[in-house]
Chain A
Amino acid sequence: MTYQFVLEGVVVGLAVGSIYALIAVGFTVLYKSTKILNLAHGELVLFGGYLAIAVTSAAGFLPVPTAFAVGVAVTLLAAAALGFAVERAVMRPLFGQPLLSVIIVTLALGYVIRGVMVGIWSGETRTFPPVVPATVVRVAGVPVSLVGVWSAAAAALLLVLFGLFFRYTRWGIAMRAAANEQLTASTLGVSLKRVFAYAWAFAAVAGAVGGILLGLWLGVNFALAAVGLKALAAVILGGLDSIPGAILGGLLVGVVETVLGGYIDAHVKLWGQPLHGFKEVTAYLVILLALMVRPYGLFGTEHIERL
């Protein structure tokens, strides 16, 4: 593993990781305020990517940047609507049900969302029209595609905006209150129903933005749903209920995946056969390791159980 290889891996990994972080934050916010582990998060990412591409292509008569802006706007609105709809139709009737039901219902939800999308857009990889020129820039001496830089910048900007939202706005504070202690928040006049609805909308929007950014960079196909699980790795690593943890976890997963996964893919042989696609399972190894060593993550609150 040469210095150059590691450096390249770190830079590219940070760029990918920033998008994972963005997706992971959606995950964490949802978990914090509703205590729901959303296993359909990958499908929300997929939804964002596909819808944005579809709308952008449909608006192809406009100049490309305008069409892209329209695509993004429509997608974000649709994602928010989807989030509200899911909360109202599926999650609210299950309020207070055991953990098992809630986990399974998100899995089922993922099935439905993916099924509908496969039906509409079939499976092939789709790409955006060239919104950002396909040039390569050098960051710290490492060649990175311009799209990657833009995605990382956009993700960073959004993370800051999300931070401000939770710090200063009325609903951001209400959501944090509900996350801290649901019952107390509700006695102080925070409407839990609305907080849950906003949390779902927020998660769907964060996922959709992640889908758009990844789509810009790598194109969208159904393997993208696995990104939802990488976000899961990020969240477990950082601590399920910690937003800074989710961000750091996202970046770490991105870097580990690119450096370690990339290295093993290229150089390690098993029984004389090169290991393909090890990169794709690095995230799961991260999950297992994190769970073994520190189940509550780097920054998560340790759960103390009482009888």
Chain B
Amino acid sequence: MAYARPCGDFKTSYAQDMALLDIRLYRWGFAVLLVALALAPWALGRWIYLLNDIAIFAIGATGLSLVMGFAGQISLGHAAFMAVGAYTSWFVTSQLRLPFAIALPLSALVAFAVGAVVGLPSLRIKGLYLAIATLAFQFLVEYLVVQTVSGMGGTPVPSMDLLGVPVNTEVRFWYLVATVWVLGAVFATNLTRTRVGLALMAVRDRDYAAQVLGVNLLYYKTLAFALGAAYAGVAGSLFAHYNRVIGAEHFSLAQSIDFVAMLVIGGLGSVWGPHLGAAFVRVLTQLLKMWAPALGALLPVLGRATTSVHDIVFGVVLIAFLIWEPGGLATLLRKLKRYVDLWPFPH
């Protein structure tokens, strides 16, 4: 009731029709959300690290959502783009000794370029062949990371400071990452209603039909990959300076699959999907990490099985979502909203 569209809410201009936050309640809701994000460190205390973690991966997942959710191109190598961003940032700050404020946009740019190159084949190969090609790309990047920079161990990354202010606490990092997160999310959301976003969706729904309608496939497919990769690059750069050490294991195939899991669980092709999914996946990961030893102590029968609890739970959750709610959390929320809207009537 409370947020139902008011009766007689007629739109009298295109600007009103296109507005992202088209009714007063949504505008207030968004303002409250921003305030809540700003006040989060006080509310959460030391748990703010969870939110930092979520934010980094939500930025990456937003990128994948452009590639998979909007442009419909399957990518199983998203973590590799994150690696590109992370290592660019590492190179720029520790080898070239340039400030982080330059490294962050540079990582996005380099990842953008790499994404454009990797996206090129998507014109010739599609569907499952594309999935396999991105999978191969993922393995090659992992191999290169091990062979050239990091070896089997990790590479230390210098701490960052932004325009002279050292970002050395969880709270300071939160304000940095939250700003990037909100800007990135707003940009992606905005993109979906522009010519670019609509072209991407046309490509997703039927690429040849889109081409007939005058959508340049080469341009939009590579653009989707490049944009998605740029988001991953930003996430990688932030991750590198947050974690302070990067290695091949942070950008493995498992991480790529985690990104896909975030999208599927959150909801493909939805604006809120990547954020909900990232929150779900990261919180679940952290909880399982915390509880696994306790679980093992409680039930010694499980023995070693506790070490692989993460994989099993993940696989099962993913399968359950695909079978019962392919629309993910975003669709679940929509259903809930509808239920509350119509309450107490079922229809």
Flag if A295 contacts B264 (CB, 8 Å).
no
Given the interface pairs A109-B319, A112-B319, A122-B304, the reply to whether A101 lies near B326 with Cβ below 8 Å is yes
A307 contacts the other chain (CB 8 A): yes
Residues of B within 8 A of A116 (CB): 305, 308, 312
Contact A115 to B315, CB < 8 A, known contacts A105-B322, A291-B125, A305-B208: yes
**Closest Cβ of chain B: how far from A101's Cβ, in Å?**
5
Is A108 interfacial (CB-CB < 8 Å)? yes
Q: Is B31's CB within 8 Å of the partner chain A?
A: no
Per-residue contact bits, chain B 237-276, to A (CB 8 Å; 1 contact, 0 not)? 0000000000000000000010011001000100000000
For residues 255 through 307 of chain A, which have their beta carbon under 8 Å from a beta carbon of chain B? 270-271, 273, 275-278, 280-281, 284-285, 287-288, 291-292, 295, 305, 307
In the complex, A105→B127 CA distance in Å?
15
In the complex, the answer to whether B319 meets A119 with C-beta atoms within 8 Å is: no
- Name which residue of chain B comes closest to A106, CB basis: B319
Binds B, one of A12-20, A50-58, A91-99, A207-215: A91-99
**Inter-chain contact B311/A101, CB cutoff 8 Å:** no
Per-residue contact bits, chain A 87-131, to B (CB 8 Å; 1 contact, 0 not):
000100110010111011101111111111011101000000000
Q: Is the interface of A mostly helix, strand, loop or mixed?
A: helix
Q: Mark B139-161, 1 if CB is under 8 A from A, else 0.
A: 11001001110000000000000
User: Which chain B residues border A271 with CB–CB below 8 Å?
Assistant: 148
Q: Is B58 engaged at the interface, CB distance under 8 Å to the other chain?
A: no
Of B129-137, B171-179, B187-195, B277-285, the one with at least 4 CB within 8 A of chain A: B129-137
Contacts of A276 on B, CB cut-off 8 Å?
A: 147
Closest to B133 in A: A291
Q: How far is the CA of A114 from the CA of B127 in the complex (A)?
A: 26
Would B319 and A288 count as touching, CB distance under 8 A? no
Contacting pair A108 B132 (CB below 8 A):
no
> Which of A97, A273, A287 has the most chain B CB atoms closer than 10 A to its own CB?
A287
A37 at the interface (CB under 8 A from B): yes
With contacts A90-B319, A100-B268, A116-B312 taken as known, whether A275 is within 8 angstroms of B147 at the C-beta atoms is yes
Q: Is B41 an interface residue (CB 8 A)?
A: no
Q: Which residues of B contact A278 (CB under 8 A)?
A: 143
Q: How far is the CA of A105 from the CA of B326 in the complex (A)?
A: 11
| Beta-carbon contact of B322 and A108 below 8 Å | yes
B314 touches A232 (CB 8 A): no
B315, A109: Cβ atoms closer than 8 Å: yes
> Which chain A positions have C-beta within 8 A of B127?
99
Q: Are A105 and B125 in contact (CB under 8 A)?
A: no
Q: A280 is contacted by which of B143, B310, B315 (Cβ under 8 Å)? A: B143
Residue pair A93, B139 in contact (C-beta under 8 Å): no
Measured in the bound complex, the distance between the Cα atoms of B307 and A283 in whole Å is 30
Cβ B129 vs Cβ A105 within 8 A: no
A236 within 8 A of B: yes
Question: B310, A295: Cβ atoms under 8 Å?
Answer: no
Q: Is the CB of B323 within 8 A of A93?
A: yes
Which residues from chain A contact B316 at a C-beta distance below 8 Å? 108, 112
Check if B124 sits within 8 Å of A295, measured CB to CB: yes
**Per-residue contact bits, chain A 47-80, to B (CB 8 Å; 1 contact, 0 not):** 0000000000000000000000000000000000
Query: How many Å from the CB of B274 to the closest CB on chain A?
Result: 15
Check if B322 sits within 8 Å of A101, measured CB to CB. Answer: yes
Q: A291 contacts B312, CB within 8 Å?
A: no
Q: Please give, as numbers and ranges, the residues of chain B lying within 8 Å of A105 by CB-CB distance.
A: 318-319, 322-323
Q: Do A277 and B315 have beta carbons less than 8 Å apart?
A: no
Which 4 pairs between the two chains have the least Cβ-Cβ distance? A119-B305, A115-B311, A111-B315, A112-B315
Given A94-B323, A108-B316, A287-B136; 4 other pairs, CB 8 A cutoff: A119-B305, A277-B146, A284-B140, A291-B136
25 residue pairs bridging A and B, Cβ less than 8 Å apart: A37-B132, A90-B323, A93-B323, A97-B326, A108-B318, A109-B315, A110-B315, A111-B312, A113-B315, A115-B311, A116-B312, A118-B311, A119-B302, A119-B305, A119-B308, A273-B147, A275-B147, A277-B146, A280-B143, A281-B139, A284-B136, A284-B139, A295-B124, A295-B125, A305-B208
